[in-house]
Chains A and B, each alone.
Chain A
């Protein structure tokens, strides 16, 4: 009984995704790649793709540096600022997005790439902090102290002892930060201006009319494959460590 129920639930979860992927390769029942060709020929798609990619890379870069430094400081000093980093994780995106829009509006900050990037770094810093902190939980100061006692200086110790210990956490956090930024829709829409469009915004602008089209399926399939690849990398990184 329970087996059949569980099977049905997994069918419910994966049938729509399988349907999108399958129909992006089909034209009247026969295999085709023409929907993908159409996607790659569309200038707007290419533009949105590069916007999304640059945004995700930049926000990952800055948030990993800020968040990792804070997580390291927390592990070493146990300062009581931890809860500052939890609010952005639990607050719904739309509340965060509208507050940032008001902030930019008050400052007359121009809306576009930079306003979106600054917003993405904000939520990513919090996620990076939480993940790296969790991965550094088994951290032992004595290993660093051993390195210092054996004659390595602070910088050598940091580069050759501390950083390698923190690396699995940093990689995991980078993958999550990249995904969150790459997929983000609500915060991007609220803080962007004319001329800066990302892939999720492009999908939204077509899907909101309730129209399912084969080329939109192809675009969705490409994005699904990227998400699944990132998830796979994450699973590889996090299981390797154990």
Chain B
């Protein structure tokens, strides 16, 4: 039962993280380069643009769900399993989601990198 709880929480972390990352990435692309906007219009303009973006709040909400799933998972499983397993699966999920929803050009180089990083993170858990 302990393993079931742990892996259910890991799955919840992955789903919430991928949704949160995609929404946050979309929101920040809509805001523009933070440093450039800050230099040109000031910090309050940056904050105003971020806080007026609906995708930002949806992304943060999703990441909050992922965070509490992480706390739940850490209370049942070891960090050496939870963190790498969730991170590995999130890498692959994010590569797919970025290609589909953010229209990023995920070429062979990035797919290869995502698989390498996911495998590396999994090995670190061993």
Question: Real complex partners, A and B?
Answer: no
Residue positions of B touching A, CB distance < 8 A: none
